[in-house]
């Protein structure tokens, strides 16, 4: 609790790739968390999305982390889902003095498979998907949503709701975000992140395997893992009740 007359540090939450803030807006309403756009998204003073991203969206994951850190306050609680969780984790490694705690939903230290890291998508599969996005843009999202909802006990309802709520960014951001996912590898940084970390993970997540969450739990010095049975990659959809029970209140 903050001393009388002072403002509590904000709690900022980053969305995942491709769907924008829409799917999380209703879920986080009244929770104390504020949505923060991914680096490269531009909003006007009324809070509405501009037609285009910044002139030069961060081309690489490292520059996206730098852009994120540049807009963070001196201290905050930071959370994120999927790609947002990767960025939040990287920000905590880069600017530990500014991050009070982390809340990571469907998180992994590396989205793609690497030597000694089998818990991800193959680089070839990511390249194939990037080619589809380059050709179809946001038209590739429905199939992507359906795939990452597989295994959820409410898979069809979850996918339908996510599709209805999605607010995809411009093409430049869609493509840049896939580059970030291919580049990010935080395995060496993770053991040095000492702030409290809450990991919330669907037990049947087909995109960020449960093994990745267990690895984070073991490697982060101050982490606790909350597993949501019967939930996949979007454990807050279509009914966020179970998710909200595990979400820390800043």
pLDDT per residue, tens digit, the chain (250 aa), is: 455 556 789 999 999 999 999 999 999 999 999 999 999 876 433 343 433 344 578 999 999 999 999 999 999 999 999 999 999 999 999 999 999 999 999 999 999 999 999 999 999 999 999 999 999 999 999 999 999 999 999 999 999 999 999 999 999 999 999 999 999 999 999 999 999 999 999 999 999 999 999 999 999 999 999 999 999 999 999 999 999 999 998 8
The pLDDT score that the predictor gives to residue 7 is: 79
Contacts of 90 (CB under 8 A, 6+ apart): 61, 65, 68, 184, 186, 189
The pLDDT score that the predictor gives to residue 47 is: 40
Catalytic (active site) residue 233: yes
Of the residues 77, 101, 119, 205, which is catalytic?
205
Catalytic (active site) residue 153: no
Of the residues 82, 101, 110, 237, which is catalytic?
82
**What token pair was written down for 228?**
């949501």
Of the residues 110, 201, 233, 237, which is catalytic?
233
The CA distance from 84 to 79, in Å, is: 7
Cα-Cα-Cα-Cα torsion 179, 168, 24, 206, nearest 10 degrees, comes to -50
The pLDDT score that the predictor gives to residue 40 is: 85
Structural domains in the chain plus CATH codes: 11-246 (3.40.50.1820)
User: What does each C-alpha distance from 120 to 47, 124, 196, 214 come to in angstroms?
Assistant: 35, 12, 25, 13
């Amino acid at each position: 609790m903050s001393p009388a007359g002072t403002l509590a540090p904000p709690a900022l939450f980053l969305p995942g790739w491709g769907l924008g803030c829409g799917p999380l807006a209703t879920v986080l309403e009244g929770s104390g968390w504020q949505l923060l756009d991914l680096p490269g998204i531009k909003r006007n003073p009324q809070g509405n999305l501009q037609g285009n991203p910044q002139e030069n969206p961060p081309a690489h994951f490292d520059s996206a982390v730098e852009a994120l850190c540049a807009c963070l306050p001196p201290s905050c609680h930071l959370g994120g889902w999927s790609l947002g969780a990767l960025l939040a984790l990287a920000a905590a490694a880069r600017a530990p003095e500014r991050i009070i705690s982390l809340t990571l939903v469907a998180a992994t230290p590396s989205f793609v498979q690497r030597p000694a890291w089998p818990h991800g998508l193959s680089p070839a599969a990511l390249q194939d998907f990037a080619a589809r996005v380059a050709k179809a843009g946001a038209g590739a999202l429905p199939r992507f949503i359906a795939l990452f909802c597989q295994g959820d006990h409410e898979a069809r309802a979850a996918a339908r709701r996510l599709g209805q709520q999605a607010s995809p960014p411009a093409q430049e951001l869609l493509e840049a975000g896939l580059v970030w996912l291919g580049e990010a590898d935080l395995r060496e940084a993770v053991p040095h992140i000492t702030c409290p970390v809450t990991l919330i993970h669907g037990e049947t997540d087909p995109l960020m395997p449960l093994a990745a969450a267990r690895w984070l739990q073991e490697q982060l010095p101050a982490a606790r893992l909350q597993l949501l049975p019967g939930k996949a990659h979007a454990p807050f959809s279509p009914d966020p009740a179970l998710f909200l029970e595990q979400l820390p209140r800043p």
